[in-house]
Structure 1
């Protein structure tokens, strides 16, 4: 009697492609989990939501601080990408920023980093990212705009981010848009960059 063995073929290892996909999935999942549960959410929930094991998460991010920094970096990168387009208006860039403020507890924490009780090691990084956000916004800020004077732009972003609270993304978005309106500032479509 001949024994037949079934050999299962494992999918080919995509190497760097898989690593890049996993990292992107982890950042997206972290943004969502942090928005729902706060910055103290279990990292196991982030890994599970990204569809990877905790070992994969820790290969990319050695600790919670690294995960938070990666989310912040990606959020700022998207605001900068929106600002790089010549056809983009100030209101459009504010729409992308507002989308991140409404959807990311980590991003809101960035705007209040000096008083935040989040993971250690975030303050200096957050301050540098805040400067990048302001630089991106100023690229399209019309001369003579009501937020053009002194620290008015940075202060307005901090005020709106403080208003972007609530139990759901929709509630946070409504409050952020209302805060911009109270400041007399027009906001474009509230959406992710490229959305």
Structure 2
């Protein structure tokens, strides 16, 4: 049980505020734990990293699929928001994409999802999210860009994401940037979209 330092009792329940904070902490923790240990890590590790009990985890995410889907949805939403922001250049959007590739192992799997033969529905969902990423990128893709060909953008993203390996965020980021450099594609600052 969590107790306050002076009074020796639990802090007051913040209701919906606490639920929103817990969900955000769980998504951030899931992203980190999945990136470090893979998607098959026990969900108890996610709850521990978020600083919540397993009951709180299961109230937000009844199973692994729901936790992975929440991480993927947030990744895609940030890329879509970056594409909609005023003055965003294609290179800036690639910087956000690259941050997510370096940060989230689950996101890489999404970009390679094949919905055929999927019984759980997660690959179909992942395929739809992947299409949303492509649409967001195409919004900022300049005419005549080297990736403007019919499948060039999708292929380039797949090639870069396949190169993103390593034990640390920095190592994965470096490999992604090296892959973009080999494709002669400019990438803006590698960071999450913060609105």
- Structure 2 length-normalised TM: 0.91
Quote the offset at 1:12 in angstroms. 3.0
Question: What is the match of residue 16 of structure 1?
Answer: 16
State the Cα distance separating 1:14 from its structure 2 match.
Answer: 1.7
Q: Give CA deviations for 1:146-181 in whole Å, capped at 9, x if unaligned.
A: 111101111111111111111211111111111111
Partner of 1:160: 160
Distance in 2 (alpha carbons) for counterparts of 1:98 and 1:36: 17
Q: CA deviation at 1:141?
A: 0.6
Return 5+ residue gaps in structure 1 as ranges.
1-6
* 1:57 corresponds to: 57
Residues 42-53 of structure 1 mapped to structure 2, 5 A cutoff: 42-53=42-53
Q: Does 1:84 align with 2:87?
A: no
Preserved contact between residue 101 and residue 164 of structure 1 (Cα < 8 Å):
yes
CA-CA distance at 1:114 after TM superposition:
2.1
Q: 1:119 to 1:175 in 2, by over 3 A?
A: farther
Measure how far apart 1:119 and its partner are.
10
Structure 2 unaligned spans of 5+ = 1-6
1:120 CA displacement: 4.1
Map residues 29-178 of structure 1 onto 2, 5 A cutoff. 29-114=29-114, 120-178=120-178
Q: Does 1:192 align with 2:188?
A: no
The RMSD of aligned alpha carbons is 1.9
1:83–1:37 Cα change, 3 Å: same
Alpha-carbon distance in 1 for matches of 2:120, 2:157: 23
Kept after mapping to 2: 8 A contact 1:65/1:121: no
Aligned length: 187
